[in-house]
Amino acid sequence: MTKNDWLHHLESLHPKGQAGIELGLDRIRRVKNALGQTQHCPVIIVGGTNGKGSTCAYLENIIDRAGYKVGCYTSPHLLDYNERVRLNGRPVSDDALCAAFARVEAARQTAGANGEAVALTYFEFGTLAAWEIFAEAEVEAAILEVGLGGRLDAVNAYEPDVSIVTTVALDHTDWLGPDRESIGFEKAGIYRAGKPAFCADPNPPQRLLDHAAAIGADLRLIGRDFGFERPAADSNENRLQWRWWCRSGEQLIKRALAYPGLRGPTQLFNAAVVLAALEAISDKLPVTMQAIRPGLIETELAGRFQVVPGKPAIVLDVGHNPQAVKVLADNLSSMGFFDRTLAVVGMLSDKDIAGALAPLKGKVDVWHVATLGGMRGTPAETLAGIIAAAGLGGEVVCHPSPCEAMQAAKGQASESDRILAFGSFYTVAGALEALGKKA
């Protein structure tokens, strides 16, 4: 079977295909045991509403720079499934994926309680396959990004040496609960008793704090146990640097660092928690400042406030919930002056679309709205109606796909304009396709 054959098979295992969500750990644990999977290296699990991808990218790049063989499993992908499973920053080969898929398939066929097949979801199947690849490659560190929530997410079948929750905001409320407290509890499910557990949200939900205390996790909070400082406006300090700090026992560690390669002030939260987490497991995975400095500066990640060189300016961002788009809007405001902003947007129907678009009120001159495919996709006409009802301003043009929306925006924009493509991984993927670029 080819990789595409396997991916079609993975989608066929759930009635909703790739979009199928069925939380719980029983299925993946049964197949994990049937595969005989054991953990042979430090494991870092990263959860949170926003910032997971950036945090994983920093960890991956620093650990790679330190000379270790590192595996990183993230989702979703932009253009190619292989992006989800990386060894030292490089997507694995089709052959490696197919071999891992075959082993998972063989194991799941008889992994049930009575020797019957276990019906894995797309994400569960992929998670098991990623670990198979990491084990075969004998990675010295594994980074696993939570797909949805945390407590009942497939990656939580593995035992972290350190756990990170980046932010807690409203998203996936149908699955995780209606408010930050409920969502915070689900995110805190990746914490473990006696193990370092980090939260980089400056306002952590009480239920996250309570759960960490109840299980005896070694909870470390931004602003209390680690954090960052920017140079004061009236100081003589180097404006090209920020300071990271962390408490380690009785010791206060401080480091002056160049700003991270990923754009936007929120990246300092991600960078700070990465360095604190690495410090917490330095006995198992020591890294030096010689690895940290270039690891932060040279990290790149497609679709995270990614500015494509040239004119007009093109910004790609996978932000799809109110918190993420608020950060995006703030970052856009710091870019300088442009005659017009043209937005290419497509969103999934299970998102808070009105809430996500609200931060861009009055900031977009032309909306090129696109229909996303699949059963979760929102028709362009629906998006147009939401924009009109919310009084967001600007002209609205509908398109059948993100690729066609980006082509239209490019055709309309002058060199002094700015194009913003956002709202979903699918939207950014379509924009990259229109630009003829790889992720």
Which has the closest alpha carbon to 75: 60, 58, 53, 97?
Answer: 53
Question: How many of the other CB atoms lie within 10 Å of CB of 381?
Answer: 11
- Which token pair is 137? 């490659």
Determine the residue type at 435: L
Q: How far apart are CA 55 and CA 145, in angstroms?
A: 9
| Same CATH fold assignment for domains 3-297 and 306-435 | no
Task: Find out whether 222 and 272 touch, Cβ atoms under 8 Å.
Answer: yes
pLDDT of residue 252: 93
pLDDT along the chain (439 residues), means of 10: 94 66 89 96 96 96 98 95 97 98 97 93 96 98 96 97 95 84 96 98 97 98 96 69 91 93 91 98 96 95 91 95 93 92 96 95 97 91 97 97 97 97 96 84
Per-residue CA distances from 405 to 77, 302, 361, 371 (Å): 20, 19, 20, 9
Spatial strand order of the sheet with 43-47 comes to 90-91, 85-87, 70-73, 141-145, 43-47, 162-165, 196-199, 218-221
- The alpha-carbon radius of gyration of the chain (Å, integer) is 22
Sorted by where each begins, the domain ranges of the chain are: 3-297, 306-435
pLDDT at 363: 96
Q: What superfamily does domain 306-435 belong to in CATH?
A: Mur ligase, C-terminal domain (3.90.190.20)
CATH topology assigned to domain 3-297: UDP-N-acetylmuramoyl-L-alanine:D-glutamate ligase (3.40.1190)
User: What pLDDT sits at residue 160?
Assistant: 98
* DSSP per-residue codes, 231-287: PPTTS-S-TTEEEEEEEETTEEEEEEEEPPSS-STTHHHHHHHHHHHHHHTTTTS--
Side chain identity at residue 63, one-letter code: I
Token representation of residue 320: 């799809």
